[in-house]
Amino acid sequence: MVKATKQTVKQMKPRYEYISSAKLPTRFGLFNIHGFWDNTEKQEHIALSHGSWQASDTVPIRIHSECLTGDSLFSIKCDCGFQLEKAMQNIVEHGFGLILYLRQEGRGIGLLNKIKAYRLQDMGLDTVEANEHLGFDADLRDYHICKSMLDTLNVTEVELMTNNPKKLRALTDLGIKVVKRKAIDHGVTEYNKAYLQTKTNKLGHKFNLDKLV
């Protein structure tokens, strides 16, 4: 028999770990916040749940990548803050649901690189060109942790709130049953309309850009 060493025990540790949960009252309603840890990337992620469900229920969810500027600083250069608020409203109105909030700022390039990309956009590049000019792919996000988060929170099939079909494909590839993709309302402003148009033309997102808010 081979005796387990500290090194082998460390190697056996799962990549994704559930850490803890707590109540999180918000201006939209009462949520619970759940913490997760990625042992490979050394990164923390959270989920926000509202209400309760059975394993057989179809749960409305949103996968939301962190956007400090949009979510916390109220920027209208993007549509992130608009969509996060709308997702929370939709979930409370539905009675239950879940937001997977992934720490993937700037489609995976990080906050400081996103600021560099913003500077390039101020100079005339679009959001995809700016990321690529900095040496990154247009979208570096990874959704593998979503399976662990959904398993932990007893979700087996979902209605996905997104305008990005790539997220639907990512969940399906992970073996998650997506019953429906539901478009999520987004705030269109004079500052982000070109950004949304780029996401439509180059990243396959689906938007209605007819009106400015």
CATH of the domain at 150: 3.40.50.10990
Residue 164 has pLDDT above 70, yes or no: yes
The confidence score (pLDDT) of residue 192 equals 82
Domain assignment present for residue 126? The answer is no
Domain assignment present for residue 136? The answer is no
Contacts of 32 (CB under 8 A, 6+ apart): 21, 22, 23, 24, 48, 49, 50
Each residue's pLDDT tens digit, 106-154: 999 999 999 999 999 999 999 899 999 999 998 899 999 999 999 999 9
Strand partners, 43: 38
Domain assignment present for residue 1? The answer is no
Q: State the average pLDDT over residues 91-109.
A: 96
Catalytic residue among 38, 71, 79, 139: 139
Locus of tokens 């005339």: 124
Please give the tally of structural domains in the chain. 1
**Position with higher pLDDT, 103 vs 207:** 103
Q: Is 151 a catalytic residue?
A: no
Residues belonging to the binding site for GTP are 62-66, 83, 105-107, 127, 162, 167
The confidence score (pLDDT) of residue 10 equals 56
Domain assignment present for residue 109? The answer is no
Residue percentage of the chain with pLDDT more than 70? 92
Contacts of 27 (CB under 8 A, 6+ apart): none
37-to-111, 138, 154 alpha-carbon distances in Å: 19, 25, 18
Residue 7: phi and psi, rounded to 5, are: -70, -45
The domain in which residue 155 lies consists of 16-104+141-212
**Three-class SS of residue 20?**
strand
What average pLDDT does the chain have?
90
Strand partners, 111: none
Catalytic residue among 141, 142, 173, 185: 141
Domain assignment present for residue 154? The answer is yes
pTM over 0.85: yes
Domain assignment present for residue 181? The answer is yes
Residues belonging to the binding site are 62-67, 78, 80, 83, 105-107, 127, 162, 167
The confidence score (pLDDT) of residue 209 equals 61
Residue 211 has pLDDT above 70, yes or no: no
Q: Is 57 a catalytic residue?
A: no
